[in-house]
Amino acid sequence: MSVSEEIEHLSRRSFLRIAGIGSAALCLGLYVSEKAGAKVVNESEASLADAGIALAAWIIIHTSGKVTLICHRAEMGQGVYHSIAQIIAEELEVDLYGVDIQLTQGDEKKYGSQLTGGSSTIRGSYKNLLKLSATAREVLIMAAAARWGVDPSGCYAASGHVIQKSSGKKLHYGELVADAAKLTPPKEVKLKTRADYKVIGKGSLRRDSPLKTNGQAVFGIDKRIPGLQFATVERNPRLRGKVRSFDASAALKVPGVTRVFKVVMGVWDTDREGVAVVATSTWAAMQGRKVLKVEWDDSGFEHVSSPEIFRRQQELLQNSEGLSLSTQGDPTGIIARAKDKLDVVYETPYQSHSCMEPVNCIAHYQADKVEIWGPVQAPNWIQDYVSKKLGMDREKVIVNMTFLGGGFGRKAMPDYPYEAVMVSKEIGAPVQVVWTREDDATQGPYRPGISYRCEGAVENGGIAALKFRMAGQNNDHWMRGDSGKANRSTSEGFLKPYYESIKHISFADVPFKTPIPTSFWRSVYASTNGFAYESFLDELAHQAQKDPMDLRRQYLKDERSQLLIDKMEEVSGWKNRKKNEGYGVAITECFASTVGHIVKVSKNGDKGIRIDKVWVVVDCGWYVNPDIITAQVEGSVVMALGAATIHEITFKNGMVEQRNFYDYKMPRITDIPPIEVHIMENDENAGGMGEPGLPAFAPALTNAIFDLTGKRIRKLPFDLANVH
Amino acid sequence: MINLNVNHKKYRIDADPDMPLLWVIRDIIGLTGTKYGCGVAQCGACVIHLNGEAVRSCVTKLSRGAGQEIITIEGLSANNNHPAQVAWNEESVPQCGYCHSGQIMSAAVLLREKPNPTDQDIDDAMAGNICRCGTYLRIRKAIHLAAELQKKEGGTT
Ligand code: FES
Ligand code: FES
C-alpha cells in the first residue's frame, strides 16, 4: 500500500470516540478498524474490541488538569513531536508549552500505520487530529455548562479551562473529566478557520529542542534497561556473504567480552551472516571484534563493481523498452519522426543514509514475547517481520519508539531490530546492538544507483514528446519480491500538470538487479528522478530557445503552479537577471508538495564554482509550522548538496569502498550557501514537508552551472571545484 | 582504578586505561548526552571539555582524563542556560538533535575564546562538527545570538 492509499484508508476507517479510562483520566482518540470498511459507531466497547478496533488515545486529560498528548510517529528531526502538539493545542485550547508529549509504541490498531515515511505524518493525520481536539473541547464545554446549568453557547475554552462569558466563572479541564466522560460527543464540530488560528501556522519554538541542548533526549543508542548487555557484529563485507568459520579465542580474552557467536540477519528475503561479540560495554565489544578471526564464504552471488553496474544499466537502456509504467500519446513515434530531438543519459550514484546516530537497537527476547526499544521509523513493519520470522503472534512483538538521530528512510528497515532479537535470543538477556559508522557505511541498505535515458522532441518552440526510461534497482523487489512489475516510482518527482499540456509522455522501468540491498532515501526516487527529468527539461528549453522558467510556465498551466512560478520569479529577481549570469531553476513534486528551487552560481576564481544563493518556494497547502518547514528545506538543501557534489557509495569486487566520514565526506558548515525559503499561502490539503525540499536542488544547481558555463552535468556527484 | 572528575563529581573507574572517554562516560558513568558518531575524530558528536578545551572523547583515552576536569553537555550549565543553549533553543536549531551536544560543546569554547566571533571564526571552530540534518545556517545564527546574550549577561568581553 502506498502512503497516499494508506492515508485514504485511515480516514475511511477511523471514527471519533471518547472514553473514560477508569475515573482518573479522560482519554480521547480515534477508533481505527483493522479492516477497511464501515463499522457501526455505536457498538459497545467490548464488541468494538472484538472486532479488532482499539482506541487510539491521542489526548489524555488527567483529573489534575494535566494533559498528555501522544506522538504516534517517529521524531527523527522533522518536527512531528512538536507539530502534532501544535495541532492538538490549537483546537483543544491548551497551552502548547504546558502539555506533556509522549513517544509511544507500535500499535497499528490504535494509530493506523506508523510508518514514518513518505512525509506522511501531518498530511495523514491532521484532519482527524483537528476534529478530535475540537470535539474534546466541545465535550468539556458541555460538561461545564451542565455543571453551571447554563447554555454551552455562553461558554468558551481557553488555556485548559472552560470559562463562562458573562460571569467569568472558570473550571479547569481536569475538574470536568469525570462528567465529560459520560457525555456523548457531538457528531459535528465547527473547526476554526485559518484566520482564527493562534498556534497553527505560527513558528513556535520546538518542544523537543530543550531536550536536545542538554543531553536529556533519549535516542535509541542512549536507552538503558536493567541487565542490558552490549554487542556489535562483524558482518560479511560482501553484501550477501556467509560465515564459513571463525576463531573467537582472542576476542574472548578481551576484558568485558562475554560471548561470541554466529548470527544471521534477515534483509527482507535475503540473509546476511556475521559474528556477534557481546560484552559489558560497547567499547569492549568493539575491541573483541577487532581481534576476531573470520573466514567468509563468498560464493553464490555476484561480486559487483560500480563501473560495471552503470555500464550494464546504460547498455540495457539502449537495448530495452523495459516495463511501461505509463504512456500517454505516442512519444516513441513522435520522437522517431522528429527532426529536432535529444537523447541523453543521466546517472545518479548509490548513497548511504549516514544518519548521525548510527543504526542500533535493543531487543529483549523472552519465552512469551519480544520487546524492542530503538530509533525506528516503522514499528509496525518490525512487528510484521519479527513475528513472521519467529513464528510468534504479532501482538507479542512490542516495539517502543525513542527519539531518532536521523532516519532518512534507513531506519524504516526491520533488519537491525531483527538482528538484535537474534542476539538477545542467543544470550537470553536484553542486548543493545550498535552498528559502527563503518558498518553503517559498508552494509547499507543504500539509495539505488540509477541510470536514466531521456529522449525528447522539440517543435515550434515547445516540447512535442518526452520519453523517460530508468534502470536502477527497485526497492519493491527487496521488500516484496514482485519483480515482474515496473517500479511504481519511475515518475516520482515529475509534476502532474505536465501530463495535461504535453500530449506525448511515457515512463518505463528497465529492470535491473544486483545483490546490493537498497531502500528509501529521503524523498526516495524523486531524489534522483528529479535530477534527470528537471535537467532534461532545461536541455529541451535551451534546444527550443526558451527561457527555462517560461517553458515551465507554458506547460504548468494550473493555478497553483502559476502562482508558485510568480513567487519564484519575484523572490529571486529571475526576470532581471542578465544573460548567462548563472541562474538555474527546477521544480519537483514529492509527497503532495511542490517545491521550486532557484540556484545562483558564479565562478570562484580558479576554484571552480561557488553557490551564491538558493531560493526555495514551497507549496505544501495547509501547514502547521512555517519555521519547521523552513528548517526541513534548509536541511534538505544541505543533504542534496552533499549527494550532488560531495559523496557517493561505490563498489569494488562486491564490497563498498567507503568506510567513514573521511572517505564518505559530509557537507560542513563551511560549504553552506545562503538559503531563503518562502511558503505559499493557501488552504489546499496539506502536503508532506520532511522530504519534498530535496529533489529540485541538484537540477537547479546543474542548470545554473549550464547557464554560467555552457557545461551540462549529467552525472552525480561532481566536484564544484572542478567545474570550469 | 582511575579517578575521574566529571561535571564536578568524582568517579573511580575500573577499566582499561585505553578505553576512550566517550565509552567511559556513556557506558560506565551512564551519561548519554555525549554521542558516538564516527569513533575516528571526524564528526564532533562526542566533544567534551577537558580542562576547558574541546576534545573528541572518542579518541581521548581514559588515562588522559585521569584527575583532569571533564565537563559534558549535562554539566555545561545548571539549567540548560549557557548562552549557547539558550540561543540554540531560541533559533530552534536542533532537528534530530543528535549532533548538538557536540555542536554546543564546541561552540561554548569558541564563545569563551572569541566573545565576538566573526563568520570566519565560526567556520574555523565548527568545521569539525558534522550535522547530517543540515542545521548549519541556524548554528551560525545561534552562535551570533549567544555572543549577544553572553555580553548582556555578564558584561564579559
Ligand atoms: S564520535 Fe568522536 S568525532 Fe565522531
Ligand atoms: S540535528 Fe540531526 S545531525 Fe544535527
One domain for residues A362 and A342: no
Q: Say yes or no: B41 contacts chain A, CB-CB below 8 A.
A: no
One domain for residues A133 and A273: no
Rounded to an integer, the average pLDDT of A455-464 is 96
One domain for residues A510 and A624: yes
Whichever domain contains A399, its CATH number is: 3.30.365.10
| Half-sphere exposure of residue A110: CA atoms within 13 angstroms, side-chain side | 18
- Concatenated DSSP letters for A563-617? HHHHHHHHHHTGGGPPTTSSEEEEEEEETTEEEEEEEEEEE-TTS-EEEEEEEEE
- Concatenated DSSP letters for A287-339? HHHHT-EEEEE--SS----HHHHHHHHHHHHHH---EEEEEES-HHHHHHH-S
Look at the block and give the residue holding cell 555545561: B76
One domain for residues A332 and A407: no
Cβ pair A128, A31 in contact under 8 A: no
Q: Say yes or no: A672 contacts chain B, CB-CB below 8 A.
A: yes
pLDDT higher at A493 or A7 = A493
ipTM: 0.97
Q: How confident is the model at residue A485 (pLDDT cuts 50, 70, 90)?
A: confident
Q: Say yes or no: A266 contacts chain B, CB-CB below 8 A.
A: no
H-helix or E-strand spanning residue A14: strand A14-21
Q: How many Å lie between the alpha carbon of A343 and the closest alpha carbon of chain B?
A: 36
With a CB cutoff of 8 Å and minimum separation 6, the contacts of A241 are: A272, A273, A296, A297, A298, A301, A654
Chain A residue numbers touching B130 (CB-CB < 8 A): 356, 661, 666, 668
> Taking 80 as the threshold, does the pLDDT of residue A350 lie above it?
yes
One domain for residues A114 and A252: no
Atom of ligand 1 nearest to the CA of B57: 2
- Report B:94-133 residues touching A (Cβ under 8 A): 94-101, 104, 122-123, 126-127, 129-133
Q: How confident is the model at residue A20 (pLDDT cuts 50, 70, 90)?
A: very low
Q: Which residues pair with A101 in a beta bridge?
A: A69
> Could you tell me the sign of the dihedral formed by the alpha carbons of A334, A335, A338, A340, in that order?
positive
pLDDT given at position B155? 54
Among A214, A237, A266, residue at a domain's last position: A214
One domain for residues A312 and A357: no
Farthest CA pair distance, chain B: 45
One domain for residues A191 and A327: no
> Taking 60 as the threshold, does the pLDDT of residue A9 lie above it?
no
With a CB cutoff of 8 Å and minimum separation 6, the contacts of B17 are: B2, B61, B62, B63, B66
> Rounded to whole angstroms, how far apart are CA atoms A272 and A285?
20
CB–CB of A205 and B39 under 8 A? Answer: no
Residue type, position A513, single letter:
K
Summarize pLDDT for A605-657 with one digit per residue, the tens: 999 999 999 999 999 999 999 999 999 999 999 999 999 999 999 999 999 99
Among A214, A247, A274, residue at a domain's last position: A214
pLDDT given at position A18? 47
pTM of the model: 0.93
Distance of CA B135 from the midpoint of ligand 2 (Å): 7
Summarize pLDDT for B59-93 with one digit per residue, the tens: 999 999 999 999 999 999 999 999 999 999 999 99
Q: pLDDT truncated to tens, each residue of chain B (157 aa)?
A: 999 999 999 999 999 999 999 999 999 999 999 999 999 999 999 999 999 999 999 999 999 999 999 999 999 999 999 999 999 999 999 999 999 999 999 999 999 999 999 999 999 999 999 999 999 999 999 999 999 999 998 754 4
- Report A:367-426 residues touching B (Cβ under 8 A): 403-408
Listed range (A265-274, A633-642, A671-680) with the worst mean pLDDT: A265-274
> CATH top-level class for B83-153?
mainly alpha
Among A181, A214, A247, residue at a domain's last position: A214
One domain for residues A231 and A279: yes
Residue type, position A489, single letter:
S
Summarize pLDDT for A419-434 with one digit per residue, the tens: 999 999 999 999 999 9
Rounded to an integer, the average pLDDT of A270-283 is 94
Domain B2-73 CATH superfamily: Beta-grasp domain (3.10.20.30)
One domain for residues A406 and A531: no
Shortest CB distance from A212 goes to which of B26, B32, B97? B97
One domain for residues A456 and A598: yes
Q: How confident is the model at residue A273 (pLDDT cuts 50, 70, 90)?
A: very high
CB–CB of B92 and A205 under 8 A? Answer: yes
* From-to residues of CATH 1.10.150.120 in chain B: 83-153
Rounded to an integer, the average pLDDT of A663-679 is 98
CB–CB of B99 and A356 under 8 A? Answer: yes
Cβ pair B40, B49 in contact under 8 A: no
Number of domains in chain A: 3
Q: Say yes or no: A634 contacts chain B, CB-CB below 8 A.
A: yes
One domain for residues A461 and A489: yes
B154, with CB counted inside 10 A (0-12, 13-18, 19+), is exposed
| Residue in chain A lying closest to B107 (CA) | A213
Cα-based distances in Å from A223 to A217, A360, A461: 10, 10, 61
Domain span including residue A586: 306-350+447-722
Among A147, A201, A199, which Cα is nearest to A172's?
A147
Burial B82-118 (b: 16+ CB within 10 A, else e): bbbbbbbbebbbbbbbbbbbbbbbbbbbbbeeeeebe
Look at the block and give the residue holding cell 468539556: A140
With a CB cutoff of 8 Å and minimum separation 6, the contacts of A519 are: A409, A410, A412, A413, A444, A445, A446, A447, A475, A478
One domain for residues A439 and A486: no
Q: Say yes or no: A221 contacts chain B, CB-CB below 8 A.
A: yes
> Could you tell me the sign of the dihedral formed by the alpha carbons of A599, A604, A609, A610, in that order?
negative
Summarize pLDDT for A165-220 with one digit per residue, the tens: 999 999 999 899 888 877 887 878 899 999 999 999 998 999 999 999 999 999 99
Summarize pLDDT for A126-174 with one digit per residue, the tens: 888 888 889 889 989 999 999 999 999 999 999 999 999 999 999 999 8
